Amino acid sequence: MAFYLPILTCFMLTVSSLTNGQPSPGFYPSSKVPTIPFNQAYRSLWGSQHQRFEQNSLVLWLDKSSGSGFKSQRAYRSGYFGTAIKLHPGYTAGVITSFYLSNNEDYPGNHDEVDIEFLGTTFGKPYTLQTNVYIRGSGDRNIVGREEKIHLWFDPTKGFHNYAILWSPIEIIFFVDDVPIRRYPRKSDATFPSRPMYVYGSIWDASSWATENGRYKADYRYQPFYARYNNFKLGACVANSAASCRPPSGSPARTGGLSRQQVAAMLWVRKNYKVYDYCRDPKRDHTQTPEC
């Protein structure tokens, strides 16, 4: 009986952590990556007239005239990329608030991209967080997205929450407040991004598709729409650098992957909050997504 006690204790702790609201992942990769001042890592990309710094946060906003976006000063070949975001409350249909990796400017129409996107919503309905992975050749002309959508276990308009992408040579892991919500493993070169990417953030009008497949559009009677960013985390391997570099691990194991407790937390999120999975969509042509 004594032999099984540590295992039983670990199991009970994991279960209890999953029954008190937000699951405990047991490991917090954001604490291992230093916060970096915005101006040391990023610059305004567009809509600079719709950007300001306020109480240690970068504020972007969208109105009828323009949205706004920023971009990292360097490209990276892997790493941990995070930020805290506070979303706009109320009617935000058609509005996208994003944090993502991309090389679209280097390879237009043939780019790679790893997205965290918040799809705006109507009164009384929750935000949808969409994660997505585009692979070489799935760009502007022939989009083959790998979307998953979840609702969150908190109100993202009430305060800042941390969102992150961990991109390593073997997998991509998406985190919300250090809880892994999705793991996208490298199954082949054809289904995994390998070219350097920049880091972006933006707020923009995507009325044609963002909210219930475009059913609800941006309504500028409620403008401006704000997105607030702070706590920028950047632990990454710079592209075109001769220096050796190992991206941060997302788990206690230096080799990466996820611990049992992290997997349990991720499964809890996916069981209770996932609302769309491209691999389970019968309308999709899965010959173009062989990883499914």
Give yes or no for a contact between 250 and 240, defined as CB atoms under 8 angstroms apart.
no
Asked if residue 50 has pLDDT above 50, the reply is: yes
Asked if residue 8 has pLDDT above 90, the reply is: no
pLDDT band at 95 (very low <50, low <70, confident <90, very high): very high
Q: What are the CA-CA distances from residue 235 to residues 32, 199, 232 (Å)?
A: 9, 12, 10
What is the C-alpha separation between 241 and 281, in angstroms, rounded? Answer: 41
| pTM metric for this prediction | 0.91
**Helix, strand, or coil here: 264?**
helix
Edge-to-edge strand list for the sheet holding 274-277: 42-46, 68-72, 198-205, 95-102, 113-119, 128-134, 148-150, 274-277
CATH number of this structure's domain 36-239+246-280, picked from the four choices 2.60.120.200, 3.10.20.440, 3.20.20.70, 3.50.50.60: 2.60.120.200
**Helix, strand, or coil here: 130?**
strand
Of the candidates 54, 113, 148, 212, the residue annotated as catalytic is 113
| Tokens linked to 174 | 């998406």
pLDDT band at 3 (very low <50, low <70, confident <90, very high): very low
Q: Which residue has better confidence, 142 or 184? A: 184
What is the C-alpha separation between 260 and 257, in angstroms, rounded? Answer: 10
What is the C-alpha separation between 54 and 267, in angstroms, rounded? Answer: 37
The model's pLDDT over 228-285, given as tens digits with 9 standing for 90+, comes to: 999 999 999 999 887 789 889 999 988 888 999 999 999 999 999 999 999 999 998 8
Of the candidates 54, 117, 212, 291, the residue annotated as catalytic is 117
Q: What percent of the chain has pLDDT over 70?
A: 91
- Which residues are CB-neighbours of 85 under 8 A, at least 6 positions away? 97, 99, 118, 156, 160, 161, 163, 227, 228, 229
The model's pLDDT over 146-198, given as tens digits with 9 standing for 90+, comes to: 999 999 999 999 999 999 999 999 999 999 999 999 999 999 999 999 999 99
> Active site includes 113?
yes
> Active site includes 105?
no
Q: What is the CA radius of gyration of the chain?
A: 19
Q: According to the model, what pLDDT value does residue 143 have?
A: 61
Q: According to the model, what pLDDT value does residue 37 have?
A: 96
- Which residues are CB-neighbours of 122 under 8 A, at least 6 positions away? 91, 93, 211, 216
DSSP 224: P
